[in-house]
């Protein structure tokens, strides 16, 4: 550092400074920055600062300012400055810099808008008039100028006869014009009408409250009716299931074959399918299990399998029972898209696991 350059702050009294760079002004705007007080020095009675041009990253430069990191003067640019604000806290100095930049931006923006408004103002002239500038007319030529007559407003364009539309007048049955409309009846005392200047609304307080009470009573009645219908429907389902349980649940393979033949009658098939589909189910396996448990007893499930191996009855040969099962499964909303092969696999699994039901698995464990 030369003799003419002298630092203004010691290492123990460092501050954060907001400075202007008068020599860096562009279009009337002066650059502003936040620097460390260790960057500035005085030369010939003027304030200067070192600007670290070798630090390219903004984040790194902010970190250098915050930590008051010493600079390399040989790699810095000497800039004339004017101090606008000083602070011991970096966050407060950053907020102050942001506020000053916003104020300068708003002031510059308002000045530019005002200049644009002034430049946009121009004298509106009529094309039908001839204008002369005062500099173009001499005193000797005043008597030779003929005054320009004033311009009269143009007459509105008249519509042609083809553009005019006939006016439709209302007539009664006797082809006479109807009399003028009768005055509107006055509102009742329950109604409060407000003039259009005060707002367009009407208040029917008493009628509204009565209507709400009536609606609430009707809703309560509907709620009770729906509850009774649901209970009745559940009771009917239970009764129907009990009747089906007594009618079906075959214990012998020959009885199941007879039931398969009786399903050839279309009306009986549709009736049984609608009744069995009421069993429902969470998924495909649950729905198939409920249907098969209704049709086949546990004793019969031990004596049949899918293909009839080991001298057992074949469930695959009961085509009508299979069709009945397919239709009942697809009537359930949860299994409406189930395919025949998926339903066949569910039936195979149910027949395969028949020995494990009704305590069969526990008895095998006890024997071991």
Among 43-47, 137-141, 347-351, 361-365, name the one with the lowest average pLDDT: 137-141
- Between 164 and 93, the more confident residue is 93
- Specify the pLDDT at position 350: 94
Is pLDDT of 129 > 50? no
Please give the pLDDT value at position 167: 52
pTM tops 0.75: no
* Mean pLDDT over the full length of the chain: 77
> Residue 245: what pLDDT?
58
The helix (run of H) or strand (run of E) holding residue 348 is helix 340-352
Which helix H or strand E contains 26, and what residues bound it? strand 16-26
Give the residue, 116 or 97, on which the prediction is more confident. 97
Token duo for residue 43: 């030369």
CB 304 within 8 A of CB 316: no
Residue 102 is predicted with a pLDDT of 81
- pLDDT value at 134 more than 50: no
What pLDDT, on the 0 to 100 scale, is given for residue 109? 62
What pLDDT band is residue 154 in, cutting at 50, 70 and 90? low
Continuous segment of H or E residues that includes residue 268 = helix 266-276
Asked whether residue 194 carries a pLDDT value surpassing 80, the answer given is no
Q: Which residues contact 76 (CB under 8 A, 6 or more apart)?
A: 50, 51, 52, 53, 54
Indicate the DSSP class of residue 76: S
Q: How far apart are CA 121 and CA 223, in angstroms?
A: 73
- Residue 14 — pLDDT band, cuts 50, 70, 90? confident
Q: Which residue has the tokens 């311009």?
A: 151
Mapped onto helix, strand or coil, the DSSP state of residue 23 is: strand
Q: Lowest-pLDDT range, 67-71, 261-265, 348-352, 363-367? A: 363-367
324-328 mean pLDDT? 94
Cα 291 to Cα 323: distance, rounded to the nearest angstrom: 12
Least confidently predicted of 26-35, 59-68, 73-82: 26-35
> Rounded to 10 degrees, what is the CA torsion of 184, 186, 190, 194?
80
Q: What pLDDT shows up at residue 195?
A: 47
| Separation CA 66–CA 88 (nearest Å) | 10
Contact 212, 206 (CB under 8 A): no
User: Does residue 112 register a pLDDT over 90?
Assistant: no
The larger pLDDT score, comparing residue 36 to residue 194, is at 36
Q: CB under 8 Å to 88, separation ≥6 — which residues?
A: 15, 16
Evaluate if residue 137 carries a pLDDT over 50. Answer: no
Q: What is the pLDDT of residue 3?
A: 47
pLDDT of residue 317: 92
């Amino acid at each position: 550092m030369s003799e003419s350059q002298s630092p203004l702050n010691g290492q123990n009294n460092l501050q954060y400074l907001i400075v202007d760079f008068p020599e860096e002004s562009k279009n009337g705007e002066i650059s502003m920055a936040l620097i460390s007080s260790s960057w500035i020095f005085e030369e010939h009675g003027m304030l200067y600062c070192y600007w670290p041009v070798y630090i390219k990253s903004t984040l790194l430069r902010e970190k250098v300012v915050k930590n008051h990191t010493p600079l390399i003067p040989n790699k810095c640019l000497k800039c004339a400055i004017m101090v606008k604000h000083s602070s011991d806290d970096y966050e407060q100095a950053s907020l102050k810099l942001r506020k000053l930049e916003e104020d300068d931006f708003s002031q510059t923006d308002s000045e530019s808008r005002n200049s644009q408004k002034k430049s946009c103002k121009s004298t509106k002239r009529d094309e039908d008039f001839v204008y002369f500038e005062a500099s173009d007319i001499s005193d000797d030529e005043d008597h030779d100028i003929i005054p320009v007559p004033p311009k009269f407003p143009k007459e509105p364009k008249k519509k042609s006869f083809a553009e005019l539309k006939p006016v439709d007048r209302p007539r009664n049955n006797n082809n006479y014009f109807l009399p003028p409309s009768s005055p509107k009846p006055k509102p009742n005392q329950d109604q409060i009408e407000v003039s259009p200047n005060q707002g367009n609304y009407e208040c029917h307080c008493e009628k509204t409250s009565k209507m709400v009470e009536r609606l609430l009573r009707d809703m309560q009645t509907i709620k009770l009716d729906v509850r009774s219908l649901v209970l009745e429907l559940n009771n009917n389902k239970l009764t129907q299931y009990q009747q089906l349980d007594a009618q079906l649940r075959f214990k012998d393979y020959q009885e199941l074959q007879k039931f398969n033949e009786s399903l050839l009658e279309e009306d009986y098939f549709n009736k049984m399918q609608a009744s069995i589909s009421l069993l429902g189910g969470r998924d495909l396996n649950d729905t198939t299990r409920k249907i098969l448990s209704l049709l086949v007893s546990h004793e019969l499930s031990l004596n049949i399998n899918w293909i009839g191996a080991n001298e057992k009855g074949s469930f695959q040969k009961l085509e009508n029972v299979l069709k009945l099962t397919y239709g009942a499964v697809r009537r359930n909303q949860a299994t409406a898209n189930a395919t025949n092969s998926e339903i066949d696999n569910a039936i195979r699994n149910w027949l395969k696991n028949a020995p494990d039901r009704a305590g069969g698995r526990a008895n095998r464990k006890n024997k071991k």
